[in-house]
Amino acid sequence: ITPATRFEIASATKQFTAAAVMVLVDRKKIDLDASISTYLPGVPPDCRPITVRQLLQHTSGIPGDNSQGSGTDLARVLPSFLKGGPKHKPGTHWEYWNQGYALLSEIVARASGKSYVDFCKAALFQPAGMQASGFTGDSAPSGASVAIGRSADGPPRSALEHPYGDYGFQYRGMGGAVTTVWDLWRWHKALGGKKLLSGAARSSLFKPGLQDYALGWFVKETKGRLVQSHGGGVRGFICDIRRYPKEDACVFVLCNKDDAPLSVVAQGVEQLLFGEELTLSLPRPADPKLAAAASGTYRDGGGNVLELGLEGKTLKGTLTWTGGQVTYMVVGQKGKAFTISDGSDTYDLTLGPAPGGKASSLSFGGTTYTRAK
């Protein structure tokens, strides 16, 4: 592995989808505040108030578990993605919804007249000089270094291998970009210049909304620094991407093992970058009593399934979403508190009452999972 090795970056792909939309805004092909029905046929009446900007900012009001549907036929997946309509008035509630970015990939395709993949390569990667970047399903050039992702829950896979069968709406736009550390540096430089986007488009791209989410980026002040960031995780690969525009600095951590303590590594690199005291704190493995109490199968209200079990001395989990995507989790312990990490983020973990020694529920990140009978 070198800085020129290709890695898949999963949900960090959303920054490219958002930038592709903004290129088309500059070209007056897309209006951020227009209804998505302006660009997508078949949008039901209750979803027509949703705008392009709200898809980008995860404020459409569509619940995050509306994720069933795959393939390349928009007419087949749209009824499932938009089933039930918004649960909150669009623009008033933030809820991370992957499939909103799948719809954005189709908006990009229809507004540009090119496929999403071809447009991103032509309008983003080529102007930025990102010659090694592409998407799952691409062929590797002769002699190219491609990372092999490893996971406890499946066989090894190349960064260029589709994690979900093909690059359909189950993954397109929300994940699937393949890139290198050097190309991410080129991307960082392009975002800071004038070649890729107009000043107005760049300002819109990084203007935070609810929950500090801008357009494909989290944007917030940390330790007096402006940080633009996004992580990602998929079978075999996790990443943490951070930009510090005022300092013209960046941190990219790409990993081909999906249970590595990525956020700890990225935080340590950031501390080194800014000359701060290095304060790494790795959670220790959960104690045997916790492992015994927490192991099992749980479901949330949307039908997503979390399975926890011991692997060696480590309590690991797989969170299988209704759309088929899988997130890999590791449970740790700091003092008497429990944590659960998906590689790019770490959450406090709360166990519900444990009759018979088994936890009745698990809660983290604002969601409760109830033990399956």
What is the band of 354 on the pLDDT scale with cuts at 50, 70, 90?
confident
Task: Give the CA radius of gyration of the chain.
Answer: 20
DSSP 8-state symbol, 147: -
Q: Across residues 189-194, what is the average pLDDT?
A: 95
Q: Across residues 240-245, what is the average pLDDT?
A: 96
The pLDDT value given to residue 287: 80
Q: Across residues 200-223, what is the average pLDDT?
A: 95
What is the band of 58 on the pLDDT scale with cuts at 50, 70, 90?
very high
Question: How far is CA 347 from each of CA 116, 137, 154, 362, rounded to the nearest angstrom?
Answer: 33, 33, 24, 12
The pLDDT value given to residue 218: 95
What is the band of 254 on the pLDDT scale with cuts at 50, 70, 90?
very high
pLDDT at 157 over 90: yes
What is the band of 223 on the pLDDT scale with cuts at 50, 70, 90?
confident
What is the band of 259 on the pLDDT scale with cuts at 50, 70, 90?
confident
Question: How far is CA 192 from each of CA 16, 186, 188, rounded to the nearest angstrom?
Answer: 15, 10, 7
The pLDDT value given to residue 77: 96
pLDDT at 50 over 90: yes
Spatial contact of 17 and 108, defined as CB atoms under 8 Å apart: yes
- Percent of the chain at pLDDT > 70 equals 97
The pLDDT value given to residue 324: 65
The one-letter code for the residue type at 309 is G
Q: Across residues 39-67, what is the average pLDDT?
A: 96
Distance CA 89, CA 96 (A): 15
Distance CA 62, CA 345 (A): 23
The pLDDT value given to residue 340: 86
The token pair at 33 is 């505040």
Q: Across residues 214-233, what is the average pLDDT?
A: 93
The token pair at 320 is 């299988």
Q: Across residues 335-350, what is the average pLDDT?
A: 77
The token pair at 4 is 């020129």
What is the band of 263 on the pLDDT scale with cuts at 50, 70, 90?
confident
The token pair at 159 is 């960064």
Task: Provide the edge-to-edge strand list for the sheet that holds 225-234.
Answer: 218-222, 225-234, 237-244, 249-255
The pLDDT value given to residue 262: 83
Task: Provide the edge-to-edge strand list for the sheet that holds 177-179.
Answer: 7-8, 177-179, 134-135
User: For 292-330, how does the pLDDT look when each residue is reduced to its tens digit (9 = 90+)?
Assistant: 889 999 999 878 899 998 877 788 888 887 666 677 788
pLDDT at 109 over 90: yes
Highest mean pLDDT among 186-190, 350-354, 362-366: 186-190
Q: Across residues 106-128, what is the average pLDDT?
A: 98
Q: Which of 105-109, 177-181, 197-201, 349-353 has the lowest mean pLDDT?
A: 349-353
The pLDDT value given to residue 323: 61
User: For 17-36, how does the pLDDT look when each residue is reduced to its tens digit (9 = 90+)?
Assistant: 999 999 999 999 999 999 99
The pLDDT value given to residue 33: 98
The pLDDT value given to residue 325: 65
